[in-house]
């Protein structure tokens, strides 16, 4: 696990703010950002913080406020800002059944709505569905005060859009994708260019991690020999969990940077699969 990444390309110019796009990602265990120079189509900054012992959004916000106080790049008047919020409190609704007036009802089928959180929705073009999710009010308020033009997305959105786009360029065989965060894993199956499953689970140890994946392969009747897994997220390629998984799943690869962007030198010092979801956020509508 990496705890902190911080670099800013020397090409950054505060007089060029209108040409920059700021992408942010938040979870209880981390805060990340990257900066895209839209004029050159080049990512020029990346920052990541890992919070191991935080258990409440109030404490998380205090940590984020300190980062804002210390890092001038965040205190700019960006017009283009997107926030990726990581939470297991979400549900998918196919577009034919979606009614914006009923989002609280949709959400409450699977989750309890807290009085201190707000329900949001995203439309995912790749599978014509809506993601209904919650975000704590204190998090939303803080970032909207900083960035009035802020757009908020659930963490599943860039992953689904990218996976379904990539699947159209490849064969129609089943494929599995894992997005691994500090204590959460997204498990995605695409078959015949269609999203078959997107599930997010929490884990505390290696055995939890391995059990869930192998159990999913078994229940979905996926071949451990023929079905490849593509891994993204902040996990080392030689992590013990990955080495154990390789004993059971024969095709495991790691995601690569999207080829239609350019990247400042600092990105070369980081494994490409670490921040794919954050990078792809820019392309979410």
Q: How confident is the model at residue 54 (pLDDT cuts 50, 70, 90)?
A: confident
* pLDDT of 121 strictly over 90: yes
- Find the mean pLDDT for residues 248-269: 95
pLDDT at position 233:
95
Q: How confident is the model at residue 167 (pLDDT cuts 50, 70, 90)?
A: confident
pLDDT at position 3:
54
Query: Which three-class secondary structure string do you get for the chain?
Result: CCCEEEEECCCCCHHHHHHEEEEEEEECCEEEEEEEECCCCEEEEEEEEECCCCCCHHHHHHHHHHHHHHCHHHCCCCCCEEEEECCCCEEEEEHHHCCHHHHHHHHHCCCCCCCCEEEEEEEEHHHCEEEEEEEEHHHHHHHHHHCCCCEEEECHHHHHHHHHHHHCCCCCCCEEEEEECCCEEEEEEEECCEEEEEEEEECCCHHHHHHHHHHHHHHCCCCCCCCCEEEEECCCCCCHHHHHHHCCCCCEEECCCCCCCEECHHHHHCCCCCCHHHHHHHHCC
Q: Structural domains in the chain?
A: 4-88+120-156+258-283 (3.30.420.250), 162-254 (3.30.420.260)
Spatial CA neighbour of 212 closest among 224, 203, 220, 221: 203
Q: How confident is the model at residue 104 (pLDDT cuts 50, 70, 90)?
A: very high
Note the pLDDT tens digit of each residue in 63-94. 999 999 988 899 999 999 999 999 999 999 99
* pLDDT of 134 strictly over 70: yes
- Find the mean pLDDT for residues 34-62: 94
Let me know: does 123 contact 229? Beta carbons within 8 Å: no
Q: How confident is the model at residue 14 (pLDDT cuts 50, 70, 90)?
A: very high
pLDDT at position 74:
94
* pLDDT of 155 strictly over 80: yes
What average pLDDT is seen over the chain? 93
pLDDT at position 2:
55
* pLDDT of 250 strictly over 90: yes
pLDDT at position 4:
72
Interacting residues of 96 by C-beta distance below 8 A, sequence separation 6+: none
Note the pLDDT tens digit of each residue in 175-232. 999 999 878 899 999 998 899 999 998 898 999 999 999 999 999 999 999 999 999 9
- Find the mean pLDDT for residues 35-45: 97
pLDDT at position 151:
98
* pLDDT of 137 strictly over 90: yes
Structure tokens at 285: 């509508």
Spatial CA neighbour of 191 closest among 156, 225, 228: 228
Q: How confident is the model at residue 254 (pLDDT cuts 50, 70, 90)?
A: very high
Structure tokens at 3: 């705890």
């Amino acid at each position: 696990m990496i705890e902190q990444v911080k670099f800013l390309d020397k090409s950054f110019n505060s007089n060029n703010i209108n040409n920059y796009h700021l992408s942010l990602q938040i979870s209880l265990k981390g805060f990340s950002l990257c900066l895209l120079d839209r004029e050159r189509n080049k990512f020029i900054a990346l920052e990541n913080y890992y919070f191991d012992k935080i258990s409440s959004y109030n404490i998380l916000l205090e940590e984020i406020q300190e980062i804002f106080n210390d890092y001038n790049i965040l205190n700019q008047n960006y017009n283009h800002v997107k926030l990726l919020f990581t939470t297991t409190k979400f549900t998918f609704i196919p577009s034919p059944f979606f009614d914006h007036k009923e989002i609280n009802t949709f959400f409450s089928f699977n989750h309890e709505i807290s009085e201190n959180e707000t329900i949001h929705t995203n439309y995912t073009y790749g599978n014509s569905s809506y993601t209904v999710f919650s975000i704590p009010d204190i998090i939303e308020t803080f970032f909207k005060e900083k960035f009035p033009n802020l757009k908020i997305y659930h963490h599943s959105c860039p992953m689904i859009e990218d996976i379904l786009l990539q699947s159209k360029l490849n064969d129609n065989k089943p494929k599995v994708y894992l997005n691994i965060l500090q204590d959460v894993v997204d498990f995605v199956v695409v078959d015949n260019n269609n999203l078959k499953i997107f599930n997010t689970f929490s884990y505390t140890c290696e055995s939890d991690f391995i059990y869930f994946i192998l159990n999913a392969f078994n229940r979905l009747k996926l071949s451990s020999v023929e079905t490849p897994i593509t891994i993204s997220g902040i996990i080392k390629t030689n992590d013990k969990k990955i080495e154990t998984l390789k004993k059971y799943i024969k095709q495991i690869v790691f995601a690569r940077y999207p080829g239609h962007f350019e990247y400042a030198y600092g990105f070369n010092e980081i494994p490409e699969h670490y921040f794919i979801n954050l990078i792809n956020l820019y392309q979410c509508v």
